[in-house]
Structure 1
Amino acid sequence: MKKKTKIIIGILIITVGVLLVYKFGEAFAPGSYPYAEVYKIDAPEENVIKAIKQFKTSHSEFVVPNVTPDGADMPTTDSAELHSVPTKRIKNTKLQR
């Protein structure tokens, strides 16, 4: 074979190898949501919660129903209470702006 042909075949093999490694690594991406989007909102938490509540009152199709995975009704509580983290755990956390 000519030297030029060997170089082209080598480049193709390397390219295919890199793509295969990339796709194989994608299959083992970390976490439940490896491609989750992160948004940073430049507003106080109270304003964001208030805006979400206003949005849900005007767009009822986005309100999550109060049911458990087995179909039973959940007790009605504020969703912030269900997902609240004890303040001791986040005491030394620094917020980024």
Structure 2
Amino acid sequence: MNINLQINRLDNRPLQTLNPQIIDMNHEETLIVCAQFRLHGLSHNNLDERTEFLKNLRRLEPKGVVLSENNMDCSSNGCVDFPMGFSRRVSTCGNFWT
């Protein structure tokens, strides 16, 4: 396999503002996004930063997405126990794939 791989890290950028210019996207390239352990840092309350991030991610039309979260405390106000948080995460992922 001859794979030409380039990894661009986007440190210190708000995830919900991703766009082709920020990631320096070339239409001849295959975009794979790795957003592991990032959603818990975004609010899912009134303005719902998570949904905005996932909508923007979908607009980029990546060929692949690595999206996983571990079981840890949420950073948003009003979060409750693990079952409620898990239900919200499943709902968020459902918004992305529909």
Question: TM class by shorter-chain length?
Answer: under 0.3
Greater relative CO (CA pairs within 8 A, separation 6+) = 2
Write 1 or 2 for the structure with the bigger share of strand. 2
TM-score, length basis structure 2: 0.23
Of structures 1 and 2, the larger Rg is shown by 1
The alignment's TM-score, normalised by the length of structure 1, stands at: 0.23
